[in-house]
Amino acid sequence: MVSPSKITLPQGSITAIIAYLSKNGLDINQLDKYILRALGKPQSGEIDISYLMKKPQNLAPESSAVDGFGGLSVSSSLGIITKGDFLYALTSAKAAQESITLIPGETMYYFIKDIAVQLRLNEQKLWEAYKALAPYEEGVILPDTYKIHANPTEQTLMTLLVRSSLEKHQNLARQYLGSYDEKQWFKHIAMASIIQKEAANTQEMPIIAAVIYNRIKINMPLQMDGSLNYGQYSHAKVTPDRIRNDKSPYNTYLYKGIPPLPVGSVSVEAIRAVFEPADVEYLFFVRNKNGTHSFSKTFKEHRENFDK
């Protein structure tokens, strides 16, 4: 029989699935439901059967042959597949997948924009689905490359991302704190998000964590640019004008301590740094010519590091 290489199956009974396929031009009828019941329950969503497709060889377009299930194998320029193979594929073929990636430190503002374009989804509906599921605007979905079924809805996609990430958050909280208290845990995630934004690499993360703790200990403002790279400002250069005029709680030049909410996504390494800071007395750091940071204990040393 002629078949596209990818088939989208609705959820529902075998009878409903067969009716859907028949309505969409495939040579499937209600007698085939008995074969499907013997093979197993068809999957739902988009499944990939391209591995079963065979290019026609030495057959005229009208040619056909009887397969083992009494169905026809019709050749075409698209390829051919026996009805038996097709019915088996409905229950066993791998679901067609796409990959989406959230990079460490990125904000939901850009992540949602990117996946809306990539997956051809509605940006506003993605935000609505996310906010209905996530306890905080940032820091909930963990950075990773996610394999998802092709053609998800906004709701199914966000349900997958948020629920799987919250499960990992709970496991990490139990690992580091012994239990999971959502409000308490996301205070730590807020600190991890600053570390994520500031560190040039994972090796620096425990040192940045130590600087934060050291500054808080002496009631010194964090004064970290990364805290101002929230939301739509994720990739914006932090200027003196931003520092003076940004009145958001993320402005660590204006307010002491860690912002009340995360400013972006956080890696497991950034979370680990919160609980395992380096044993150093540094209070200052500045980016050097190598693209990493030079750390110092005093402001005098800090100023000297500007030329390195």
pLDDT at 29: 82
Element (H, E) at 30: none
pLDDT at 39: 78
Angle of helix 123-133 relative to helix 154-177, nearest 10 degrees? 40
Antiparallel, parallel or unpaired: β 97-102 and 144-149: antiparallel
Q: For the chain, which residues score pLDDT lower than 50?
A: 2, 55-78
Distances (CA, A) of 34 to 15, 18, 150, 271: 10, 11, 28, 53
Length, in residues, of the chain: 308
Q: 96 φ, ψ to 5°?
A: -65, 140
pLDDT at 17: 81
Element (H, E) at 185: helix 182-198
Element (H, E) at 146: strand 144-149
pLDDT at 77: 35
DSSP type of residue 27: S
Q: Which of 186, 174, 202 is nearest to 104 (CA)?
A: 202
Q: Which of 151, 164, 43 is nearest to 97 (CA)?
A: 151
pLDDT at 206: 98
